[in-house]
Amino acid sequence: MKLKFWQRKADDDGELSEDGGQGTASEFEMPPGHHLGLGTRLRAKWEGYDDPVEYYLLQLEIDAYTDWLRKMRVWLARPVEPELGELDLDDEIGRWPPERIRLYDKLFDHGIMIPGGHDYALELAKPLALDETLSCLEIGAKLGGVARVLADRLGVWVTAYEQDGELALLGMERSVHAGVQKKVPVQKFDPEKPELRKGYFNVVYSFGELYKVPGKETFLGELAGTLREQGQILLTDYVLTRDLDEDGLAQWAKLEGDDLFPWTAQEYKSRLGQLKFDIRIAKDESETHLVHIKQAWMTMLSDIQKSGLDPDVMDYLLPEMEMWMNRVKMLENGSLAFYRFYATIN
Q: Which helix (H) or strand (E) holds 178?
A: helix 165-178
**How far, rounded to the nearest angstrom, does the alpha carbon of residue 2 sit from its chain's CA centroid?**
16
Q: List beta partners, residue 237.
A: 339
User: Regarding beta strands 277-284 and 227-240, do their DSSP bridges make them parallel or antiparallel, or are they unpaired?
Assistant: unpaired
Quickly list DSSP for 81-108: -PPTT---HHHHH-SS-HHHHHHHHHHS
Sequence-distant (6+) residues with CB within 8 A of 108 are: 114, 115, 116, 117, 296
Buried b (16+ CB within 10 A) or exposed e, 20-56: eeeeeebbbebeeeeebeeeebeebeeeebebbbbbb
Q: At what angle do helices 246-256 and 317-332 cross, to 10 degrees?
A: 140
How confident is the model at residue 62, as a pLDDT?
81
pLDDT of residue 22: 46
E-strand stretches of the chain: 18-19, 24-25, 135-139, 157-162, 186-188, 201-207, 227-240, 277-284, 336-345
pLDDT at 67: 67
DSSP 335: S
CB 242 within 8 A of CB 266: no
> How do strand 24-25 and strand 18-19 relate by DSSP bridges?
antiparallel
> What is the chain's pLDDT, residue by residue, as a tens digit (346 residues)?
444 444 444 444 444 444 444 445 677 888 888 888 888 888 888 877 888 888 888 888 787 767 666 656 655 554 443 333 333 334 434 789 988 998 998 898 777 899 998 899 999 999 999 999 999 999 999 999 999 999 999 999 999 999 999 999 999 999 999 999 999 999 999 999 988 999 999 999 999 999 999 999 999 999 999 999 999 999 999 999 988 888 889 999 999 999 999 999 999 999 999 999 999 999 999 999 999 999 999 998 888 888 877 777 888 888 999 999 999 999 999 999 999 999 999 7
**Burial (CB count within 10 angstroms: exposed 0-12, middle 13-18, buried 19+), residue 232:** buried
> Left if phi > 0, otherwise alpha if psi is -120 to 50, otherwise beta: which for 41?
alpha
Contact 148, 124 (CB under 8 A): no
Nearest 5°: the CA angle 256, 99, 160 is 60
Residues ≥6 apart with Cβ < 8 Å to 205: 124, 125, 128, 136, 137, 138, 139, 233, 234, 235
